[in-house]
Amino acid sequence: MVNHTEVAKLFANGSNDVKGKHFYVSEGILWSYGTWFPVAKWLDYPKMVLWNKSRYSNSTSKHQSHAMYEISKAHTGVEFVQVSTSEFKSVISQVYQGQKVCFITRDVDPAKLTFEKVEDILYNFLKANGLKFVAKRYAKDAVQGWRQKSLLKQI
């Protein structure tokens, strides 16, 4: 059994199974205190890691800090795709069911993020991959309140 720092270091260097006390790697996923709190999973080693941004306890935060430090130390330019615990578990479930999971990441100022901007990013991504884009949008109508307006863009 190895200490927390060693668990994080081994995960950062691609190990899929490491035994540690309350902090371990199993089937490529870094866990803190059991399978209810995933910390990280490599999506594209060593370029992109799925990262649980949720917080729970001081000890889990220390586990996250160890992992973040060791990953960043071992690999420059790693992209951390930050998700909540429930989103993380959803991604894991989809991957194990053989479904493809797609992440669209781009540097965007949250203060300037609008529905149109998200729609544009998604549209361009799908177009580049030969897919169709269908979105539903809700617009404020002075008479009827909120009403649904559908958009369909075909490529």
Q: Are residues 114 and 50 in the same domain?
A: no
Q: Are residues 67 and 128 in the same domain?
A: no
At residue 93, the pLDDT reads 83
| Measured distance CA(34)–CA(15) in Å, rounded | 18
At residue 83, the pLDDT reads 87
| Measured distance CA(132)–CA(74) in Å, rounded | 39
Break the chain down into helix, strand, coil percent, rounded to 5. 35, 30, 35
109-148 per-position pLDDT tens digit? 666 667 677 677 777 767 776 666 555 444 444 444 444 4
| Measured distance CA(82)–CA(134) in Å, rounded | 26
Looking at 51, 71, 96, the residue that finishes a domain is 96
- Please report, in tens digits, the pLDDT of each residue of the chain (155 residues total): 899 999 999 999 999 999 999 999 999 999 999 888 999 999 888 888 999 999 999 999 999 999 999 999 999 988 888 888 988 888 888 777 776 666 655 555 666 667 677 677 777 767 776 666 555 444 444 444 444 444 443 33
- The answer to whether residue 105 sits within a structural domain is no
**Beta strand pairing call for 133-141 and 79-83:** unpaired
- The answer to whether residue 102 sits within a structural domain is no
Q: Are residues 115 and 90 in the same domain?
A: no
Q: Are residues 79 and 124 in the same domain?
A: no
Structural domain span for residue 145:
110-153
Q: Are residues 79 and 26 in the same domain?
A: yes
Q: Are residues 143 and 74 in the same domain?
A: no
Q: Are residues 43 and 14 in the same domain?
A: yes
In angstroms, how far is the first alpha carbon of the chain from the final one? 55
- The answer to whether residue 104 sits within a structural domain is no
CA 133 to chain centre: 22
| Contact call for residues 39 and 52 (beta carbons, < 8 A) | yes
* HEC readout, 34-60: CCCCEEEEEEECCCEEEEECCCCCHHH
Q: Are residues 64 and 123 in the same domain?
A: no
At residue 7, the pLDDT reads 97
Looking at 96, 123, 139, the residue that finishes a domain is 96
At residue 135, the pLDDT reads 52
At residue 148, the pLDDT reads 41
Q: Are residues 33 and 90 in the same domain?
A: yes
